[in-house]
């Protein structure tokens, strides 16, 4: 009996047993995985390719059935959703508190493309993060969230006695713990809010609307977001109509560059005779990315890119990335790779370029090229799983079914329970029609 027939016999035996013993489910799922991937993978190549099965029409049906069973059998199992803080690129651990001081601004990035912007004077934590749910605790301050829509993944933000539940949207949450004042503003999609003064079924807040709740009196109001209370790009509440340039004074530094002095600081400096001017580097290190980028743009981003040191060029590129200036971020990371091609960050830049094309610009073609570049340069890199999973997803988007199948099989060989495993099994199940 050849190997293929042996696998079919093993599969039939597992089906006949019918998962009679619940405690053996995990073991049998593992056996099914071996069968599916064994059929789909040609181990003789580096990029494992699906084997063309010609022996019998039953074979394709067996593989498809096994993959479908796996999807159903693993539907209730959860896998960790990885995330990292700022540009450390090191996976963070759920449960640890993240604190932003008065002059700090943090960004939390998730492997599925979701992101949280942490405003100054904020204390928050990711209490849980897996394939089924993400729980965010807000102890004080304000957050802006962009949640990637996923059918079986639900997000909950807990702030004092209030909860915000969402599947996929963009919104901001503010919790003034001392006054027990809670507010939600929704930019896209809708959320459900629960807490004191709110019906047990919750209140829906749609895009363009806001909810305010006073915990001490249980007074809750819902209405359109007034222009004067629009959430600023930095995550704080400021008048939309205000002229931010009037709140800042631009001062040339000794080396000819430009720095920014806030009006409040100017007033303070008039009292103390100690002006507090900040360069774009100082603003960026204080996590005031948009303000830092404006200063850099006045100096000329291209000029800076050609002359900055490796550390400062990386800082400017990440500043553009966190400011949602996609074109600048891509150009700066590309320049970094050209000027500092032998560094480890140069390889990481390939992934970040791919991420910009995929998430920010929706350019699957160029995203796929850069994810492939990262994998080629960093076969054992920290972002290997994410890059391989995104290669599979971009192939599906582009209708490149053979590539999608190849990457799905390769992914399952290395990450059988990873964040993209369900999609990988689904791809194999749908594509086995030889």
The strand ranges marked E within 53-105 are 83-85, 97-100
pLDDT at 179 (0 to 100): 86
- Distances 139 to 69, 158, 325 between C-alpha atoms, Å: 42, 8, 30
pLDDT at 91 (0 to 100): 74
pLDDT at 124 (0 to 100): 94
Instruction: Give the up-direction half-sphere exposure of residue 332: CA atoms within 13 A in the CB hemisphere.
Output: 31
pLDDT at 43 (0 to 100): 37
pLDDT at 349 (0 to 100): 93
Instruction: Give the lowest-confidence range in 105-114, 181-190, 269-278, 293-302.
Output: 269-278
pLDDT at 33 (0 to 100): 56
Task: Compute the average pLDDT of residues 250-272.
Answer: 43
Nearest to 408 by CA among 5, 70, 24, 25: 70
pLDDT of 34 > 70? The answer is no
pLDDT at 69 (0 to 100): 54
pLDDT of 268 > 60? The answer is no
Q: Could you tell me the pLDDT band of residue 62, with boundaries at 50, 70 and 90?
A: low
Task: Compute the average pLDDT of residues 8-30.
Answer: 48
pLDDT at 145 (0 to 100): 92
Instruction: Give the lowest-confidence range in 185-194, 276-285, 324-333.
Output: 276-285
Q: Could you tell me the pLDDT band of residue 227, with boundaries at 50, 70 and 90?
A: low
Close Cβ partners of 338 (under 8 Å, ≥ 6 residues apart): none
Q: How far is 185 from 144, CA to CA, in rounded Å?
A: 9
Nearest to 62 by CA among 111, 134, 11, 5: 11
- pLDDT tens track for 379-397: 888 888 889 999 999 999 9
Q: How far is 35 from 428, CA to CA, in rounded Å?
A: 12
Instruction: Give the lowest-confidence range in 95-109, 128-142, 240-254.
Output: 240-254
pLDDT at 201 (0 to 100): 82
User: Is residue 163 within a helix (H) or strand (E), and if so which, with residue range?
Assistant: strand 162-166
Give the position of tokens 């990711």.
126
Q: Could you tell me the pLDDT band of residue 7, with boundaries at 50, 70 and 90?
A: low
pLDDT at 253 (0 to 100): 47
Q: What DSSP line would sit under 355-398, residue for residue?
A: HIIIIIS--HHHHHHHHHHHHHH-TT-TTHHHHHHHHHHHHHHT
Task: Compute the average pLDDT of residues 33-56.
Answer: 45
pLDDT of 50 > 60? The answer is no
Backbone angles phi, psi at 182, to 5 degrees: -125, 140
Contact predicate 33/74, CB 8 Å: no
pLDDT at 293 (0 to 100): 92
Q: Mean pLDDT of all residues in the chain?
A: 75
Other C-beta atoms closer than 10 Å to the C-beta of 427 total 26
pLDDT of 434 > 60? The answer is no
pLDDT of 27 > 60? The answer is no
Dmax (CA) of the chain:
91
User: Is residue 172 within a helix (H) or strand (E), and if so which, with residue range?
Assistant: strand 170-176
- Distances 136 to 143, 190, 201 between C-alpha atoms, Å: 10, 17, 21
The answer, as to whether pTM is greater than 0.75, is no
Q: How far is 406 from 268, CA to CA, in rounded Å?
A: 62
pLDDT at 6 (0 to 100): 60
Report the b/e string of 108-132 with b at 16+ CB within 10 A.
bbbbbbbbbbbbbebbbbbebbbbb
Rg (CA), the chain: 26
pLDDT of 345 > 70? The answer is yes
Backbone dihedral region for residue 402 (phi beyond 0: left; psi -120 to 50: alpha; all else: beta): alpha
Q: How far is 320 from 292, CA to CA, in rounded Å?
A: 9
User: Is residue 352 within a helix (H) or strand (E), and if so which, with residue range?
Assistant: helix 344-355
pLDDT at 57 (0 to 100): 45
pLDDT at 3 (0 to 100): 59
Backbone dihedral region for residue 89 (phi beyond 0: left; psi -120 to 50: alpha; all else: beta): left
Contact predicate 70/425, CB 8 Å: yes
Instruction: Give the up-direction half-sphere exposure of residue 300: CA atoms within 13 A in the CB hemisphere.
Output: 8
pLDDT at 2 (0 to 100): 59
Q: How far is 201 from 222, CA to CA, in rounded Å?
A: 16
pLDDT of 44 > 70? The answer is no
Instruction: Give the lowest-confidence range in 24-38, 94-108, 122-136, 385-399.
Output: 24-38
Contact predicate 248/261, CB 8 Å: yes
- Higher pLDDT pick, 66 / 300: 300
Other C-beta atoms closer than 10 Å to the C-beta of 409 total 25
Task: Compute the average pLDDT of residues 35-46.
Answer: 48
Other C-beta atoms closer than 10 Å to the C-beta of 241 total 8
């Amino acid at each position: 009996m050849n190997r293929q027939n042996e696998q079919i016999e093993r599969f039939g035996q597992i089906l006949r047993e019918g998962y009679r013993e619940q405690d053996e489910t995990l073991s049998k799922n593992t056996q099914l995985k071996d069968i599916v991937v064994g059929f789909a993978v040609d181990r003789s190549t580096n990029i494992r390719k699906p084997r063309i099965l010609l022996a019998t029409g039953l074979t394709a049906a067996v593989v498809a059935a096994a993959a479908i069973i796996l999807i159903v059998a693993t539907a209730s199992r959860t896998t960790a959703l990885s995330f990292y803080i700022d540009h450390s690129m090191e996976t963070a651990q759920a449960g640890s508190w993240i604190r932003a001081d008065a002059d700090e601004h943090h960004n939390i990035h998730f492997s599925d493309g979701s992101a949280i912007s942490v405003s100054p004077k904020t204390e928050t934590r990711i209490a849980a993060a897996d394939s089924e749910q993400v729980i965010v605790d807000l102890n004080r301050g304000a957050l802006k969230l962009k949640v990637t829509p996923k059918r079986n993944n639900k997000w909950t933000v807990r702030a004092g006695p209030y909860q915000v539940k969402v599947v996929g949207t963009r919104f901001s949450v503010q919790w003034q713990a001392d006054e027990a004042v809670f507010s939600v503003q929704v930019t896209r999609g809708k959320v459900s809010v629960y807490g004191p003064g709110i019906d047990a079924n919750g209140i829906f807040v749609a895009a363009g609307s806001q909810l305010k709740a006073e915990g001490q009196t249980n007074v809750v109001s819902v209405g359109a977001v007034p222009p004067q209370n629009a959430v600023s790009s930095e995550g704080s509440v400021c008048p939309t109509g205000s002229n931010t340039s009037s709140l800042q004074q631009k001062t040339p530094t000794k080396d000819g560059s430009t720095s920014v002095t806030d009006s409040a600081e100017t007033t303070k400096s008039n009292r103390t005779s100690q002006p507090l001017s900040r360069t774009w580097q100082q603003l960026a290190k204080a996590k005031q990315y948009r303000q830092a980028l404006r200063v850099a743009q006045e100096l000329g981003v291209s000029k800076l890119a050609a002359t900055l040191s490796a550390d400062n060029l990386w800082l400017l590129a990440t500043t553009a990335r966190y400011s949602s200036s996609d074109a600048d971020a891509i150009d700066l990371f590309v320049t970094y790779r050209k000027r500092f091609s032998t560094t480890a960050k140069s390889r990481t830049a390939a992934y970040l370029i791919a991420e910009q094309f995929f998430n920010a610009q929706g350019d699957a073609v160029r995203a796929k090229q850069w994810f492939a570049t990262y994998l080629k340069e960093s076969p054992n890199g920290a972002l290997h799983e994410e890059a391989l999973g995104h290669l599979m997803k971009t192939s599906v988007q582009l209708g490149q079914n053979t590539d999608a199948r190849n990457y799905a099989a390769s992914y399952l060989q290395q990450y059988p329970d990873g964040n993209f495993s369900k999609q990988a099994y689904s791809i194999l199940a749908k594509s086995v029609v030889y």
